[in-house]
Amino acid sequence: MERRRSEIAAVLLCISVLLCAFTRLPVFAAAETPEAASALPLEDSWFDDAVLIGDSIAGTLQAYAEQHSQLGSALFFCRTNYSITSAVNGSMLLYYRGGGYKPNTLLPQTGAKKVFFLIGMNDVGSYDDGRYASLWSTLVDGIRENAPEIRIFFQSVTPMMKSLPNNALTNARIDRYNELLRDFCEENDCCYVDVTSIFKDDDGTLRDELCRDGYVHLILDAGALWCAALKDPANYSRDLYGDWAAQEDGRGADLRAYYDALAVEAKLEDMVMLSSSTVYNAYGIAPEDYRQGIAALCGDSVRVDEIWLFEAADEDAAVRILAAAQARIEARREEMEGYLPDQYEITRHAVAVREGRYAALFITATSGKMAQDFRQAVQ
């Protein structure tokens, strides 16, 4: 019996390590608040339907992301000296598949559902506060006229290393620009993304080791910090999974927000979010079978806590997901029987449930209640 326990423990530990390595995600402790729970890093695939438009500084992000396979299949359009002014008046076009476009006519061509701007460095110090707001409004209105469903993100302007004599560009003016930009986003249903703080030194200037020209431009490796900042929901001024989550694809209940609240309420600890590829390879649930899905399991190999929440593509797909959930429960029961009595007891009361196009799995100490609440939530 003792030998069997050791063998099972070794197998479970290997599975846990492989899942963490495959998804390239760390193990996260349960958050104390709903706000902290929603701060789990975004996967690269979240950026698959994004376009990033920017200047030469944003070009560093593009180079790093492409070299290191970051930010999914996001499309980049970066031009030296690009500005909010040129974006609005078309004095500098963005080129895509042989055509030249302003942002408002480019975005419908790409099919993007998100657009991230990093422009402003070439505008800071050129206008008064009111003129900035007017330019932003013109840009946003033009985009919404041509692509009304797209979500608009404005990244903060990054800091400079030092101010040059007789130069209108200063860190004080950059900070003021970012303050105005954040207010504009709040008032106009856009999202402000703070990518400034990660680059600042204690004195508020660009960190020496990240600057390549003693002025404003970043070294390539600064892209690692930038990618991490973009994947951190805490840097966004809007709740990416709550009332601002895109519904243009016909999704119903927001399962990510539901999971985040559930994890906090149930005090689930050390939960690991699985990628869609892991869900497919490990459980046979194909990405085309669901519109949205959450699969999380405990990173502690001797605890069975696991939750799946799926909105299937149709009811037939929901039946397939339910079958996969039932098979998963049986597998966990087999693993725990005769090994860890308390965990085996949890698997005995695990629940796989389907409600229309929704399917879920609950392997927790309160599986029954979770299943009942889920049914009510998606009806």
> Which residue bears the tokens 């492989």?
18
CB 340 within 8 A of CB 8: no
Q: Which residues contact 230 (CB under 8 A, 6 or more apart)?
A: 42, 47, 71, 116, 155, 193, 195
Cα distances from 188 to residues 135, 193, 237, 297, 343, in angstroms, run: 13, 14, 12, 38, 50
pLDDT digits (tens, 9 = 90+) for 146-179: 998 899 999 999 999 876 666 788 999 999 999 9
Could you give the CA distance from residue 23 to residue 41 in angstroms, rounded to a whole number? 12
What local confidence, expressed as pLDDT, does residue 248 receive? 40
What pLDDT shows up at residue 22? 33
Better-scored residue on pLDDT, 173 or 254: 173
Q: What is the mean pLDDT of the segment spanning 264-273?
A: 86
Q: Kindly give, in sequence order, each residue whose CB lies less than 8 Å from that of residue 372, ignoring residues fewer than 6 positions away.
A: none
**Structural contact between residues 43 and 70, judged by C-beta atoms closer than 8 angstroms:** no
Determine which helix (DSSP H) or strand (DSSP E) holds 203, and give its type and residue range: none
pLDDT band at 223 (very low <50, low <70, confident <90, very high): very high
Cα-based distances in Å from 229 to 194, 226, 367:
8, 5, 35
Residue pLDDT, tens place only, 192-212:
999 999 999 999 999 999 999
Which pLDDT tens digit goes with each residue over 283-303? Answer: 999 888 888 889 999 888 889
pLDDT score of 3 more than 80 = no
The answer to whether 306 touches 266, Cβ cutoff 8 Å, is no
Per-residue model confidence (pLDDT) at position 252? 62
Instruction: Report the alpha-carbon distance of residue 279 to residue 325 in Å, rounded.
Output: 11
Average pLDDT over residues 229-248: 71
Domains of the chain plus CATH, in order, are 2-38+248-378 (no CATH), 44-235 (3.40.50.1110)
Rounded distance, CA 351 to CA 181, Å? 47
pLDDT above 80 (res 35)? no
| Lookup result for tokens 């609240």 | 261
Question: Residue 17 pLDDT > 60, yes or no?
Answer: no
What is the reported pTM?
Answer: 0.60
Structure tokens at 215: 């002025």
Residue that wins the pLDDT comparison between 252 and 240 = 240
Q: Which tens digits make up the pLDDT trace of 332-368? A: 999 999 999 999 999 999 999 999 999 999 999 999 9
Tell me the average pLDDT of the chain.
85
CB 307 within 8 A of CB 296: yes
Give the Å distances, CA to CA, from 171 to 82, 162, 167, 178.
19, 8, 11, 10
Average pLDDT over residues 3-19: 44
pLDDT for the residue 55: 95
Give the Cα separation of 238 and 235 in Å (integer).
9
Cα(379)–Cα(374) distance, rounded to whole angstroms?
9
CA count, 13 A, side-chain hemisphere, 101: 19
**Cβ atoms within 10 Å, residue 312:** 23
Structure confidence at residue 343 (pLDDT): 94
**Amino acid 18: pLDDT:** 39
Task: Report the SS3 class of residue 277.
Answer: helix
Ranges of beta strands (E only) in the chain are 50-54, 75-78, 94-96, 99-101, 114-118, 151-155, 191-193, 271-273, 290-298, 306-312, 351-355, 358-363
Confidence of residue 20 (pLDDT cuts 50, 70, 90): very low
